[in-house]
Amino acid sequence: MLACPCSAFNLRATAAPANPDISNPEPEPKVRKLKGSPQFNRWYRARALRSGHKLERPSHGTGALEVNPSAQRTSETLSLEPTSTANDSDREVEITDSGKPIYMVSDGTGWTAEHSVNAALGQFEHCLVDRGCPVNTHLFSGIDDVERLMEIIKQAAKEGALLVYTLADPSMAESAKQACKLWGIPSTDILGPITEAIAAHLGVSPSGLPRGAAGRNIPLSDEYFRRIEAVEFTIKQDDGALPQNLSKADIVLTGVSRTGKTPLSIYLAQKGYKVANVPIVKGVVLPKGLFEVDPEKVFGLTINPLVLQTIRKARAKSLGFGDNARSNYSEMAYVKEELEFARKVFAQNPTWPVIGKHN
């Protein structure tokens, strides 16, 4: 049997120690107990079955779920133990099948294949738990030659496995398809159909190279470094920091707290713009540099008072301030006063475009 990373249900290595020490047996592994709602326990059992844990019925009847940590992933030659028992809050299910194998083959990291299979298995949790139909998932990544591919497919045929593959090389994908057809193996090509559809839509042939392949190494461009520099600049200038650098910014955003200055700044920075943002706070003098930069670079942000109050209340709550905490930060009267103060600042600088709805 091929050695592979597996997530089989209740796996046991066939190789045993040559001279087991019977007089000093290893201590029994501690059993983790999970308590929660029936829905949570049911979800956990389904996930545990897919990831190779052995589920045991607790003897105390508390409804806690016990997971045997001795059943772990292994890359040795494995044999399957047949049974285990899982219990729900109101029923007991005997799992008499060691699990149907699913082989995932990729010429890259296998991320796409593995996550696609896991997403699909999520549609069968009712079966994995309630009806006892566990599966063994085996991931083979970095398969970049036909000989290795054929070995895996032959093994899949012996075990009666479903073969799922993401092979960027069309010749490799075709070889897998024909081999599965020849040996009667159910198979699914995850990557091929969508790649062909996009190629037809764009009118461009795909590269046929897996992610991470040497031929796909693209040199970092000046544009890339420009965006990195813009992001670094923007983070340093957040919330009025380093006002002496305002003149170096491509864009300056100003407005009262929680009008979206920071997220907009980061978004623009990822486009390559160096952005500074300056908060407007009632009673606090704005930095002199704000009025000295090119006015075409400055943009004011405003917002509806009711929306702003809602946002500020949520912000205060996330910071641990309860509803009974006294603060004018989210009080409507103060919100309106601060917005009015910002409106006057904008009015004194009519060349600044103002974005957002005040009313």
CATH number at residue 179: 3.40.50
Domain endpoint, select from 202, 234, 258: 202
* Residue matched to tokens 């979206």: 260
Residues 126 and 237 in one domain: no
For 171, the domain range is 100-202
Do 340 and 248 fall into the same domain?
A: yes
End position of a domain, from candidates 202, 231, 262 = 202
Q: Is the pLDDT of residue 65 over 80?
A: no
Per-residue model confidence as pLDDT tens digits over 162-215: 999 999 999 899 999 999 999 999 999 999 999 999 999 999 988 888 876 655
**Please, which residues have CB within 8 angstroms of residue 112's CB and are 6 or more apart in sequence?**
106, 166, 190, 191
In this structure, are 121 and 153 located in the same domain?
A: yes
Indicate the helix (H) or strand (E) that contains 136.
strand 135-140
Residue 65 CA to residue 216 CA, distance in Å, equals 47
How many domains does the chain divide into?
2
CB atoms within 10 A of CB 40: 12
Q: Is residue 80 part of a domain?
A: no
User: What is the C-alpha to C-alpha distance for residues 24 and 155, in angstroms, rounded to an integer?
Assistant: 39
The CB-based long-range contact list for 323-327 (8 Å cut-off, 24+ gap) reads: none
* Sign of torsion over alpha carbons 165, 193, 99, 97: negative
- Domain assignment present for residue 79? The answer is no
Residues 108 and 145 in one domain: yes
Compute the distance between CA of residue 129 and CA of residue 186 in angstroms, rounded to an integer: 24
Do the beta carbons of residue 291 and residue 254 sit within 8 Å? no
Q: What is the pLDDT of residue 222?
A: 83
Q: Is residue 327 part of a domain?
A: yes
Residue 281, pLDDT > 90, answer: yes
Same domain, 190 and 307: no
pLDDT band at 220 (very low <50, low <70, confident <90, very high): low
pLDDT-based confidence at residue 323 (cuts at 50, 70, 90)? low
Helix axes 191-202, 170-183, angle to 10 degrees: 140
pTM of the predicted model, to two decimals? 0.43
With respect to residue 19, please indicate whether it lies within any of the assigned structural domains: no
Least confidently predicted of 28-37, 67-76, 219-228, 270-279: 67-76
Close Cβ partners of 196 (under 8 Å, ≥ 6 residues apart): none
Q: Are 62 and 35 in contact (CB under 8 A)?
A: yes
